[in-house]
Structure 1
């Protein structure tokens, strides 16, 4: 078995694509492993020391940091590991043709800046705290969405996360106590999602048709149950004195825009 290590001083996407394109030319016998953020000599040494079978290994690298790249080449030669530098020759050729020095910026092709990481962090936050899995995130959230089941809380959180906004959602149910943490934060960070009763019943019935009718779901789309839930949710939102948005006839994008305006979101550039 040959192992191709895709080594990069950034996320390694380019190196891995080249490695996998190579592996695809052979039906079997090649394993591809991505090695990321190799930005200094210590990281190079640690990577090389972890290679168990140098004779059955090769390295495809897109490292642009010259000193780190050269050190990696030296260490691979010492260990008898074949290494192919993908970006080096391309950058050198372009440099000669342009008659100017390159910037040597790791991850430049992916624009790995603080705004990118903000989006990723917000996405991970939305997933971790989706549907009240953990109330510990309330104090760290940029916005908390509350509402009944099927009021688009989760898709809204994911949409907002793509804008770099840490959004957390909490479903409202009469049987579940309201987390006390909600009363300890600024009510301006809380958005209540409301919906027309008939539309909610319609959505819930449609969802039930897609799944087995479990005994615990019998009341899910029951008109009386839905009205009771809406009354309960209205009381909670009044008690919290939070802004409410009717999502009945609104697209996710429209509701998200209202939420962003409410919390004073000034935007980050999309990449």
Structure 2
């Protein structure tokens, strides 16, 4: 078994991706360990000292800083560990062609700035409040998606979160009162999602088929029940004066684009 260390002076995404590409050619024979934020000689020493030289080990590095990169190579050679810096040749060639020195910025490819952390925060927000009974997130959301079950609320929230938009979804069910918090935010921050009833019936029936032994009296895919739900949802949407989007046969990306333009 070979242990492949993905070493980086940033988060290590690139190094791990390369390591996984290598490991994919040797199924079941490679273990991958990500080692992020190796930024100093001390970090290198601590990492190297943990490696068991009696086992097969290899280092794939994306370290940018020259002194740390060279020290890592030196320590690997001393301990008989194979090491490859996958960014070195490409950066060196680009430097020659451009006749320009690289800036050697760790993690530059991931742009670890406010936008990055904003996306992470939005993802955590979407996960925490997904179909939640905790309505405190409504007032903190950039956008609130409302609609009946199976109108793509959750995947839309996750897509928007990846754009740095804090989205929360609120399922509309006739038997469950709408939280007052919904009426305490501007209608422009609310998006109503609707769908053709015939399409929704097919979607729900298909979903029910996945659950064998479900009570035949279950109303989830009942035609009349679905019409009642859509009617109830329409009344709530009109009351909030929100933008209503028909998601029938519409791709998630298309719906998200409409939402992003709406909330600017």
Shorter-normalised TM range: 0.7 to 0.9
Contact 1:187 1:242 in 2 (8 A): yes
Q: What are the superposed Cα offsets for residues 149-168 of structure 1, whole Å, 9 maximum, x if unpaired?
A: 12222232233334332221
Question: C-alpha separation between the residues in 2 aligned to 1:60 and 1:248?
Answer: 45
Match of 1:7 in 2: 7
The DSSP-based 3-state class of the residue aligned with 1:130 is coil
Match of 1:125 in 2: 125
Match of 2:58 in 1: 58
Question: C-alpha separation between the residues in 2 aligned to 1:258 and 1:91?
Answer: 40
Q: How much has 1:81 moved relative to structure 2?
A: 4.4
Matched, 1:237 2:234: no
The DSSP-based 3-state class of the residue aligned with 1:159 is helix
Give the 3 Å change call, closer, same or farther, for CA 149–19 of structure 1 in structure 2: closer
Q: How much has 1:29 moved relative to structure 2?
A: 5.1
Give the 3 Å change call, closer, same or farther, for CA 68–203 of structure 1 in structure 2: same
Which residues of 2 match residues 1-271 of structure 1 at below 5 A?
1-20=1-20, 23=23, 30-41=30-41, 43-49=43-49, 51-56=50-55, 57-76=57-76, 81-92=81-92, 94-96=94-96, 98-109=98-109, 114-132=114-132, 134-212=134-212, 214-215=214-215, 218-239=218-239, 241-247=240-246, 249=248, 251-252=250-251, 253-263=253-263, 265=264
Give the 3 Å change call, closer, same or farther, for CA 142–26 of structure 1 in structure 2: closer
Q: How much has 1:9 moved relative to structure 2?
A: 1.9
Q: How much has 1:12 moved relative to structure 2?
A: 3.0
Contact 1:197 1:226 in 2 (8 A): yes
Two-structure CA RMSD over aligned residues (Å): 3.5
Structure 2 length as normaliser, TM-score? 0.77
Q: What are the superposed Cα offsets for residues 89-114 of structure 1, whole Å, 9 maximum, x if unpaired?
A: 55345545654322213344555555
Give the 3 Å change call, closer, same or farther, for CA 216–75 of structure 1 in structure 2: farther
Question: C-alpha separation between the residues in 2 aligned to 1:28 and 1:192?
Answer: 48
Question: C-alpha separation between the residues in 1 aligned to 2:149 and 2:93?
Answer: 58
Q: How much has 1:226 moved relative to structure 2?
A: 2.3
Q: What are the superposed Cα offsets for residues 101-156 of structure 1, whole Å, 9 maximum, x if unpaired?
A: 22213344555555455445434433443223653432332101011112222232
Give the 3 Å change call, closer, same or farther, for CA 135–71 of structure 1 in structure 2: farther
Question: C-alpha separation between the residues in 1 aligned to 2:231 and 2:94?
Answer: 67
Give the 3 Å change call, closer, same or farther, for CA 14–157 of structure 1 in structure 2: closer
